[in-house]
């Protein structure tokens, strides 16, 4: 039995930890898309051991059931990021299958095999709802069969006989079709390039005719400078939605042709539409809303009296609530906290009783190996304030050697309109339990802090985000918490660009890791899919001046300024940031004699889902840092080829 009364002094980074790469890969089950219907709760669970397959789960009579056995993969690639891949309504369940893009139906009360109800192929579906009056689904259809540069997106109906009928077209993007309780009206969101949905969207409303066509379509709210998310109907047929017209994503309702605020607060009751099917509020009754909102990067659960707009807290242990569904007197949600991995839970709104239905990690490590983050605010460039979560090194068996300060890993999240949260992640604890501090940065441009903070990144991607990461590292150095000579930065996708720019244009970080990161902004434009095809016009510059700014800001054009060791990870099936984005950087560093490693993964796209991929990348990154900083490398750790690094 380990004697925990005295800790062994050992080099930071070389501490032995029970949180291995295999633990990270096997221990975390991705959970998403919580649904509640007829007193039953459903959710999607990712299976890393099955190639990242998503399967639909249900709790019934105290037992957890899997409803979509292999090889079915409940996932859609509409907008490439997907979401909204399943629907539970009345006596059936519908879901989109990733392999063939077909929608399948199963009887929710029986054990029948899934039956295909759509054509699939080049037509992808997401975010479908049931139109009971016309015995059809209505959803977002993304048609890749036309052969143009980009697919055609529409709101489309899918009849019981498989007939597809376009209901609304002409806009570049659609989402969130929602049918009123009496079945007579439908609301939806749409937007057009060059806008992203968190910049400007429109909320439309129409009547559903007797023959199923839409009549009297009219604009309810939104425009080029107003971002709307999650339209929903209250039980009495009042249309509600979340808008950032005040500078914060707050709740509104539409009655008698007029938009009224429901609850005014400097907080976020919605989030950026990266994926379909997100939900941050629901109705307990026509006069009571149960919601989650974000203040200073922390989620809270509350109820709103729609008559007076009063917000009343509901106590939970969660600091991140990603989505929720309200059904009667219960709410089902996906939540997490610093010592609580993401879990699906059901809360009784009358008694407060919380029942956990599924955990992303069934067996948590001993709390003595878990680092609890500190939420910090710190000064950045030009008087700005930035936000982050600081995780100190934590291991009940080890302490730094006398006089030693730990290395620091700075993480820039993806998106870049994303958000770092404090929910327990084994991938973070993998580093902290080995003696490496972590700073997870919510740089300017992150969601969760209001529109003004989100818009800081307008025209400044590769600048503001980088400055805030650099300032965060310097802040911890100034507090004597970390070793200024062992600062590393890592990031994926947009965070990969942050990593590359930090290493090219600043001399603070001593090494870096890029996971499918952007290196060539012009190349990203050329290769990008429809959803993000104009994103750089907002993040970087309008097309008229883009070439100059792209050249100034793309790390591939500044490899002469890169002299710190780097490791690159790239999925070979990535359509969002294709492999050439990494390959050109690797070749440039190799030619210049800079230490570099390149790890490619077959069968992986934008984000790694397979268990062996997770193990391989984590172990490779750890090996890389240990070698670069001269920290003893365990013999059990697989070696990675690092070019230009002396033995």
More confident residue, 378 or 364: 378
pLDDT digits (tens, 9 = 90+) for 515-545: 998 888 887 777 778 999 999 899 999 888 8
State the pLDDT at residue 116: 95
Q: Give the C-alpha distances (Å, rounded to integers) separating 35 from 26, 120, 134, 278, 566.
A: 25, 24, 23, 10, 42
The owner of tokens 């965060």 is 472
Residue pLDDT, tens place only, 17-62: 999 999 988 767 889 999 999 889 999 999 877 888 999 999 888 8
Token readout for 491 is 């990031």
Cα dihedral sign, 360-364-369-371: positive
Question: pLDDT digits over 318-374, tens only?
Answer: 999 999 999 999 999 999 999 999 999 999 999 999 999 999 988 889 999 999 999
pLDDT tops 50 at residue 4: no
What's the rounded mean pLDDT across residues 564-588?
A: 91
Average pLDDT over residues 472-477: 98
pLDDT of residue 1: 41
- Average pLDDT for 88-105: 96
Closest to 638 in 3D by CA, of 646, 621, 628, 630? 621
Token look-up 């940031």 returns: 577
Pick from 628, 58, 633, 587: nearest CA to 358: 58
CA–CA dist 293, 39 (Å, integer):
24
CA distance 84 to 64: 21
State the pLDDT confidence band at 5, using cuts at 50, 70 and 90. low
Q: Rounded distance, CA 188 to CA 642, Å?
A: 51
**Six token digits for residue 319:** 């600091």
Which residue in the block uniquely carries the two structure tokens 């993040």? Answer: 539
Q: How far is CA 306 from the centre of its chain?
A: 30
Tens of pLDDT, residues 282-304: 999 999 999 999 998 899 999 99
How far, in whole angstroms, is CA 569 from its chain's centroid? 19
Beta strands in 308-406 (DSSP E): 311-314, 320-327, 330-337, 340-348, 354-359, 374-379, 385-391, 398-399
pLDDT digits (tens, 9 = 90+) for 184-214: 999 999 999 999 999 999 999 999 999 999 9
| Residue 327 tokens, joined | 């059904």
Question: In the prediction, which pLDDT does 519 show?
Answer: 87
CA distance 205 to 207: 7
Q: Are 273 and 261 in contact (CB under 8 A)?
A: no
Averaged confidence pLDDT in the chain: 94
pLDDT score, position 606:
83
Stated as kind and residue range, the H or E segment containing 177 is strand 173-179
What average pLDDT does range 424-432 have in this prediction?
A: 96
Region of residue 73 (phi > 0: left; psi between -120 and 50: alpha; otherwise: beta): beta
Q: Which of 545, 543, 536 is nearest to 518 (CA)?
A: 536
Which residue pairs from 399-402 have beta carbons closer than 8 angstroms and sit at least 24 positions apart in sequence? 399/7, 399/8, 399/9, 399/10, 400/9, 400/10, 400/11, 400/12, 400/435, 401/9, 401/10, 401/11, 401/12, 402/9
- Report the half-sphere exposure of 357 (CA within 13 A, side-chain side): 29
The tokens for 393 are 């090194």
For residue 111, the model assigns a pLDDT of 65
Structure pTM? Answer: 0.91
pLDDT of residue 415: 81
Q: What is the CA radius of gyration of the chain?
A: 25
């Amino acid at each position: 039995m380990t004697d925990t009364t005295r800790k062994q002094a050992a080099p930071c980074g070389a501490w032995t930890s029970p949180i291995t790469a295999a633990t990270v890969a096997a221990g975390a089950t991705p959970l998403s898309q919580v649904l509640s219907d007829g007193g039953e709760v459903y959710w999607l669970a990712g299976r890393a051991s099955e190639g990242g397959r998503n399967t639909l789960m249900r709790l019934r009579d105290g037992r957890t059931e899997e409803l979509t056995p292999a090889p079915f993969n409940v996932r859609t690639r509409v907008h490439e990021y997907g979401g909204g891949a399943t629907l539970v309504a009345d006596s059936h369940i519908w879901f989109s299958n990733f392999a063939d893009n077909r929608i399948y139906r199963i009887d929710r009360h029986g054990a029948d095999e899934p039956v295909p109800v759509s054509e699939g192929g080049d037509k992808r579906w997401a975010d479908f709802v049931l139109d009971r009056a016309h015995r059809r689904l209505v959803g977002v259809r993304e048609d890749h069969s036309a052969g143009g540069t980009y697919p055609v997106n529409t709101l489309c109906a899918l009849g019981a006989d498989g007939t597809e009928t376009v209901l609304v077209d002409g806009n570049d993007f659609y989402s969130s079709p929602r049918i009123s309780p009496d079945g007579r009206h439908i609301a939806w969101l749409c937007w057009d390039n060059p806008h992203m949905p968190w910049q400007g969207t429109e909320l439309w409303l129409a009547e559903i005719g007797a023959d199923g066509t839409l009549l009297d379509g009219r604009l309810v709210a939104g425009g080029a400078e107003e971002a709307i998310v999650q339209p929903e109907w209250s039980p009495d047929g009042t249309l509600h939605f979340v808008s950032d017209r005040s500078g914060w994503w707050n709740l509104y309702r539409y009655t008698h042709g007029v938009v009224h605020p429901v609850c005014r607060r400097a907080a976020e009751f919605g989030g950026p539409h990266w994926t379909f099917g997100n939900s941050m509020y629901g109705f307990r009754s026509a006069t009571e809303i149960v919601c989650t909102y974000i203040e200073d990067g922390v989620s809270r659960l509350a109820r709103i009296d729609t008559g007076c707009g009063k917000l009343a807290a509901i106590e939970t242990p969660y600091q991140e609530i990603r989505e929720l569904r309200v059904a009667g007197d219960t709410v089902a949600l996906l939540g997490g906290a610093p010592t609580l991995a993401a879990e699906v839970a059901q809360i009784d709104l009358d008694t407060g009783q919380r029942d956990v239905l599924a955990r992303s990690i069934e067996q948590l490590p001993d709390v003595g190996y878990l680092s609890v983050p500190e939420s910090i605010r710190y000064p950045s460039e030009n008087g700005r304030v930035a936000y982050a979560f600081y995780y100190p090194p934590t291991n009940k068996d080890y302490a730094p050697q006398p006089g030693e300060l730990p290395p620091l890993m700075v993480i820039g999240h993806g998106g870049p309109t994303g958000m770092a949260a404090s929910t327990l992640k084994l991938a973070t604890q993998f580093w902290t339990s080995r003696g490496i501090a972590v700073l997870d940065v919510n740089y300017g441009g992150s969601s969760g802090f209001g529109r003004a903070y989100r818009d800081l990144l307008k025209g400044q991607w590769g600048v503001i985000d980088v400055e805030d990461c650099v300032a965060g590292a310097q802040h911890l150095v100034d507090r004597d918490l970390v070793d200024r000579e062992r600062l590393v930065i890592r990031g994926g996708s947009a965070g990969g660009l942050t990593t590359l720019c930090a290493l090219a244009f600043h001399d603070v970080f001593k090494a870096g890791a890029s996971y499918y990161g952007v290196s060539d902004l012009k190349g990203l434009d050329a290769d990008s899919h429809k959803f993000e095809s104009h994103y750089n016009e907002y993040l970087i510059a309008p097309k008229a001046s883009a070439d100059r700014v792209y050249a100034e800001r793309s790390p591939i054009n500044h490899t002469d300024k890169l002299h710190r060791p780097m490791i690159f990870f790239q999925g070979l099936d990535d359509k969002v940031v294709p492999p050439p984005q990494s390959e050109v950087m690797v070749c440039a560093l190799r030619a210049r004699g800079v230490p570099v490693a390149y790890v490619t993964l077959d069968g992986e796209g934008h984000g790694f889902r397979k268990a062996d991929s997770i193990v391989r990348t984590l172990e490779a990154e750890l090996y890389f840092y240990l070698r670069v900083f001269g920290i003893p490398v365990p013999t059990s750790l697989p070696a990675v080829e690092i070019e230009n690094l002396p033995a």
